[in-house]
Chains A and B, each alone.
Chain A
Amino acid sequence: MFDDKRPEELAYVGRSSDRPDTMEKLTGEATYVSDMRLPGMLHAQVKKSPHARARIVRIDTGKAAAMPGVRAIITGDEVDVHIGLYIVDKYVLAKGEVRHYGEAVAAVAADSLEEARAAADAIEVEYEVLPPVLHHMDALKPDAPLVHPDLGSYGYVAAAFTPMPGTNIANHTKLRKGDVDKGFAEAAYIVEREYDCPSVQHVPMETHVAIVQWGKGDRVSIWTSAQSPFTVRNLFCHAFGLAHAQVRVQIPYVGGGFGGKAGIGVEPLCAVLSRKAGGRPVKFQATREEEFSLLPCRSALTYRIKTGVSAEGKIVAQQMTMYWDSGAYADYAVNVTRASGYSASGPYEIPNAWVDAYTIYTNKPYGTAYRGFGHVEFHWAVERHMELVAQAIGMDPLLFRLKNALRPGSKTLTGETIQKNTGNVVACIEDAARRIHYGDLTPEEKERQKQTGWKIGKGVAALHKAPAMPPFTATAVILKMNEDGSVLVNLALTDYGQGTYTSIRQIVAERLGFPPKKIRVAFENDTDRDPYDWQTVASKGLVLSGNAAILAAEDLLKNAYDVAAQALHANPRDLAHDGERVFLRHHPDKGVSFSSMAVGLALPNGNGIGGPLIGVGRYIAQGLSNLNKETGEGTPALDWTFGAHGMIVEVNEESGEYRVLKVASVYDVGRAINPDMVRGQAIGGMMQGLGTATCEGYIYDKDGRLLNPSFTDNKIPTAKDLPLEVECAVVETPQIDGPYGARGVGEHSMISVAPALGNAIQKATGAELTHMPMRFEDVWRALENREPIDNWITKSPVGSCRSAPEARPKE
């Protein structure tokens, strides 16, 4: 797809452009599902489990059913509907047993919210509380209770996943490259460390919300705040045994997703209520508290890395063991494990590698996709580890990174060869380092340090990520010409703020040679009207849909040329066009306007030719393969986006307080289709990464109850938390098969922010942090060599991460 064009040859790509959605969002006109009300609509509320694990002995809905306004009540016993993306392990409502705090056990639909709430409160549930398995390391112990005793009977996607019935392991991803034993035997140094991070919330500002109407004849209409209309439809149809033609999914503006709305969410719950209420539409919107525990979060991770290094500082062998906390259901977590497994080393070449990545069921809210898809979590480990290994062998960490970074000719963990056009992580690392004056303090910084007494430190961390998606992921874009010669773009890739549609519009404009203002991208997505897209995830949107958009533009032009050729009695090869018309190259004054051809050209005598002009572009990922389940070998990566952050921090050694003075982020995006959109993703993701690094995380009590399911005790960064200085830059090594050379960057900005901070803190003070978030107290404890805080953010109150089984489960 890539056109080898210099920036000055491009009219729209690579330049600033207005976002087509800002006007509506700035005036309050943009309609989100939370704003929608349908005639006759009912409001749903759920009854949630206060226990992490319990048998449901009895549910009495009698009292609730008699309350005013109540139109439908449903319990798990009544709905035999299984849901699951990769492993079909979840019910719409808990059945028989609750598996996590906050899980829905019953639901009510009523005329008003208040009536629904009152009725839900009046539902009586008798539980037999069972001992929960809470920490993922405890869940691996032989005597651990099984979260899913029936795991062996569940359906799953066998090409990619390996559940282990009779254990709490939902998936085991393996990767074997070279000969690790030999590598370790040859190593001059061996360093082994363990790192961890807790579960966190995505925190879209609009919580999950859906309206579902189960109409007569089983025709179902769904309006939902979601990222992937076709995945919602597909999973919904599978769960309920409906034909795809019976179900329509519409997605208006979406108030943030970050992966938490990638799959299916509250739609089935609304659906069963609507069906029971005789087809009245039912709306359910999660409260912020429900967003934390009823809906999924990001999985916690414990990552153990053992690295063998040669005397010259080259990594010769690495053994990597990831323990992912899936929570009660597998959802996307099994695929996070898989995708993290094949990228587990970060952007470094490891000649002999051994990866075991486990997804582990526990009795906690379940994990799903979250911006970075595992890479934020495991890069925390990898990039702290690189720092600690460098320190252990007495080498500068930057030099150690550069020495081991992937370069053209290097082989990734799965055996893919890095090419000149794959991207340039070395340039990213070097530029990030340069931007923070890595290595020493400037005179101003020295002066500041003297004034404040706070120690200044600088750190760098690198990153890489490829889209985690099936190797045959596909999408389509349709262009429809309007009567006036302007163009409407339809696609089901969802733009919930990332700015993809702005870039798609520029790509279409570039290829058509039309000014962007003549191109409208339809914002609301609709499975009845838009062509298929798999999901809006994985930073693959611009690449795949951008390519499809180019093909669609070419198709539209071809169709227009065909009509013009007939009208002008010319060979299409003799034609050219501008933004208004198609004309003879040799006689530019002879031509036909796009507007006259848009819906079919009427000849002077009244005859018509052509018909409405449309352009269709279909694109499917090329040349990717499934991974060998034993060795991990294969080609999983559509593209690799590399990047690095440089961070300057000042730390008070007495208290552990710190301030981020500067962040400089550099990514190899191939081509920045729209620099403002890239910057928006870069800074937005960086701040989200800082949240993860500094303050976010689930804290549970010993019974598995979530203690901080709200903004009161689960803080996210505010404007005041901005680093004093923020810089972002791009390297542009074109991706040969990306649209105009572009590759994705939506998730990457969040990756490796935490280790850059950890590395900078360590440089400033020597504090060796191996868990995130890095709260001030954690820094203080590290400086004082105190035990980490005994809570679920850092350390299990019942079983420490350090109690992990020493040996790998037997092959």
Chain B
Amino acid sequence: MKITLTVNGDRYERECAEHHTLLRFIRETLGLTGTKEGCGMGECGACTVIMNGRAVNSCMVLAAEADGAVIQTIEGEAKGPTLSDIQASFERNHAVQCGFCTPGMVMSVKELLASDPHPSVDAIKEAVEGNFCRCTGYTQIVEAVTELTGTGAKGGLDHV
């Protein structure tokens, strides 16, 4: 079937296979491979995109359901050549290791900050609870958000 949607501000009119997920559509049909698949089961959040203002697991949304939707993916996050505030804070705080969870993680944080500009640590953890990160141990991700929102500082290593 044919669907029309807006992704990162660009309008697309494309044929989509009715059994394709939004994740697959974004990655394969639109070629936006920043969004990742970690499980295909809604568990890991690697596929998180923002659909009509809400962070969703795009592996559990059919592309057909996204007809008419407004979607944001990691590719639309940087403003031209400069990183967005969230991205820059992730970079400063070393919240990225292998990077596979990162696009989804940034999308979850983006939705959070849109509704709650000064989230508590608990609110941050809750917002990214559905985004597995096997590398960082999450601390630097939480710090990236608190440092950005002015409620915390960059973490450090103690020297004995």
Contact = CB atoms under 8 A, between A and B. Distances in A.
A381 interface: no
A254 B77 CA distance: 22
Interface in B16-52: 27-28, 32-41, 43-44, 46
Contact of B158 (A207, A497, A687, A727): A727
Given A720-B126, A729-B160, A206 B74 contact: no
Given A30-B99, A34-B37, 16 more contacts: A19-B94, A26-B90, A27-B75, A203-B134, A206-B38, A497-B97, A676-B94, A683-B137, A683-B140, A684-B97, A688-B134, A711-B41, A711-B43, A719-B129, A719-B131, A720-B129
A722 B139 contact: yes
A268 interface: no
Contacts of A726: 137, 139
B55 interface: no
9 contacts: A22-B90, A26-B91, A28-B74, A35-B27, A35-B33, A255-B99, A683-B136, A719-B128, A722-B125
A205 B44 contact: yes
A520 interface: no
Nearest to A716: B132
Contacts of B130: 718
Interface residues of A, number: 68
B117 interface: no
A716 B157 contact: no
Contacts of A258: 134
A711 B141 CA distance: 21
A29 interface: yes
A670 B53 CA distance: 48
Given A710-B41, A719-B124, A722-B137, A26 B96 contact: yes
A21 B132 contact: no
Contacts of B106: 26
Interface in B82-121: 83, 87, 90-91, 94, 96-103, 106
Contacts of B124: 719
Contact of B35 (A25, A28, A675): A28
B98 A685 contact: no
A29 B96 CA distance: 14
Q: Sort A-B residue pairs by CB-CB distance and give the 7 closest, nearest first.
A: A28-B34, A25-B99, A255-B100, A497-B98, A497-B97, A687-B137, A711-B43
Nearest to B43: A711
Contacts of B63: none
Interface string A690-713: 000000000000000000001110
Contacts of A676: 94, 157
Contacts of B9: none
Contacts of B139: 683, 722, 726
B78 interface: yes
Interface string A731-761: 1100000000000000000000000000000
Contacts of B133: 205, 719
A680 interface: yes
A498 B136 CA distance: 9
B74 A27 contact: yes
B146 interface: no
**What's the dominant secondary structure at chain B's contact region?**
loop
A351 to B, nearest CB: 29
A524 to B, nearest CB: 14
Contacts of B157: 672, 675-676, 678-679, 682, 728-730
A651 interface: no
Nearest to A718: B129
Given A34-B36, A205-B46, A255-B99, A679 B156 contact: yes
Contacts of B91: 18-19, 22-23, 26
Contact of A718 (B28, B75, B77, B132): B132
Count chain A CB atoms within 10 A of each CB in B28, B34, B156 and give the residue with the most.
B34
B139 to A, nearest CB: 5
A253 B99 contact: yes
Interface residues of B, number: 58
Contact of A205 (B78, B87, B98): B98
A287 interface: yes
Contacts of A30: 99
Nearest to B158: A729
Given A34-B37, A716-B134, A254 B43 contact: no
Interface of A: 18-19, 21-32, 34-35, 37, 202-207, 253-258, 287-288, 427, 431, 496-499, 666, 672, 675-680, 682-688, 710-712, 716-720, 722, 726-732
Nearest to B86: A26
B50 to A, nearest CB: 14
Nearest to B122: A720
Contacts of B46: 205
A41 to B, nearest CB: 12
Nearest to A206: B100
A489 to B, nearest CB: 20
Count chain B CB atoms within 10 A of each CB in A207, A256, A678, A720 and give the residue with the most.
A256
Nearest to A749: B137
A345 B63 CA distance: 56
A431 to B, nearest CB: 5
A257 B134 CA distance: 10
B73 interface: yes
B99 A730 contact: no
Contacts of A18: 91
A675 B154 CA distance: 12
A164 to B, nearest CB: 36
B140 A27 contact: no
B156 to A, nearest CB: 7
A26 B158 contact: no
A719 B141 contact: yes
B30 to A, nearest CB: 12
B143 to A, nearest CB: 10
Contacts of A727: 158
B142 interface: yes
A482 to B, nearest CB: 22
A629 to B, nearest CB: 37
B137 A688 contact: yes
Contacts of A29: 34
B60 interface: no
Given A719-B142, A720-B129, A730-B160, A256 B35 contact: no
A26 B33 contact: no
Nearest to B125: A719
A35 B102 CA distance: 15
Contact of B36 (A255, A675, A686): A255
A672 B160 CA distance: 12
Count chain B CB atoms within 10 A of each CB in A25, A677, A710, A712 and give the residue with the most.
A25
Count chain A CB atoms within 10 A of each CB in B35, B75, B99 and give the residue with the most.
B99
Nearest to B108: A719
Contacts of B38: 205-207, 288
B135 interface: yes
A718 B125 CA distance: 8
Contact of A31 (B33, B39, B97, B128): B33
A228 to B, nearest CB: 16
Given A27-B78, A711-B44, A205 B158 contact: no
Contacts of A203: 132, 134
B134 A23 contact: no
A23 B88 CA distance: 9
A716 B136 CA distance: 13
B73 to A, nearest CB: 7
Contacts of B137: 683-688, 722, 726
